[in-house]
Amino acid sequence: MPILEVKNLVKNFDGLEAVNDVSFTISQGEVLAVIGPSGSGKSTLLRCLTLLEKIDRGTVVFAGKTIIETTAKGQVRYAPEEELRKIRPRLGMVFQSFNLFPHFSVLRNITEAPVHVAGLTEEAAQAIAFELLAKIGLSDKAHAYPYQLSGGQSQRVAIARALAMKPDILFFDEPTSALDPELTGEVLKVIRTLAEEKMTMMVVTHEMGFAYEVADRVLFMDKGQIIEEGNPEQIFRQPTNERTKAFLKNFNYGSRF
43 binds Mg ion, rule: CB under 5 A: yes
Smallest gap from Cβ 82 to ligand ATP, in A, equals 27
Contact range with other proteins by CB under 8 A, out of 54-62, 130-138, 161-169, 186-194: 161-169
Helix/strand/coil (H/E/C) assignment for every residue in the chain: CEEEEEEEEEEEECCEEEEEEEEEEEECCCEEEEECCCCCCHHHHHHHHCCCCCCCEEEEEECCEEEEEECCCCCEEECCHHHHHHHHHHEEEECCCCCCCCCCCHHHHHHHHHHHCCCCCHHHHHHHHHHHHHHCCCHHHCCCCHHHCCHHHHHHHHHHHHHCCCCCEEEEECCCCCCCHHHHHHHHHHHHHHHHCCCCEEEECCCHHHHHHHCCEEEEEECCEEEEEECHHHHHHCCCCHHHHHHHHCCCCHHHC
Between 38 and 75, whose beta carbon lies closer to ligand ATP?
38
Question: Looking at 8, 54, 101, 122, which residue binds other proteins (CB under 8 A)?
Answer: 101
Q: How many residues bind other proteins (CB under 8 A)?
A: 28
Residue 56 class from Cβ within 10 Å (0-12 exposed, 13-18 middle, 19+ buried)? middle
Cα 184 to chain centroid, rounded: 16
109 binds ligand ATP, rule: CB under 6 A: no
Question: Looking at 66, 97, 177, 240, which residue binds other proteins (CB under 8 A)?
Answer: 97
112 binds, among other proteins, Mg ion, ligand ATP, none (CB under 5 to 8 A by kind): other proteins
Contact range with Mg ion by CB under 5 A, out of 40-48, 82-90, 100-108, 144-152: 40-48
Smallest gap from Cβ 97 to other proteins, in A, equals 6
Between 11 and 108, whose beta carbon lies closer to ligand ATP?
11
Could you give the string, one character per residue 136-155, with x where binding to other proteins holds by CB under 8 A and - elsewhere? ---------xxx--------
Residues 6+ apart with CB under 8 A from 13: 44
92 binds other proteins, rule: CB under 8 A: yes
**Cβ atoms 25, 12 nearer than 8 A:** no
168 binds other proteins, rule: CB under 8 A: no
113 binds other proteins, rule: CB under 8 A: yes
Determine the residue type at 146. P
Could you give the string, one character per residue 5-44, with x where binding to ligand ATP holds by CB under 6 A and - elsewhere? --------x--x-x-----------------x-xxxxxxx
Judged by the rule CB under 6 A, the positions of this chain that interact with ligand ATP are 13, 16, 18, 36, 38-44
Judged by the rule CB under 8 A, the positions of this chain that interact with other proteins are 50-52, 85, 88-89, 91-93, 95, 97, 99-103, 112-113, 116-118, 145-147, 158, 161-162, 165
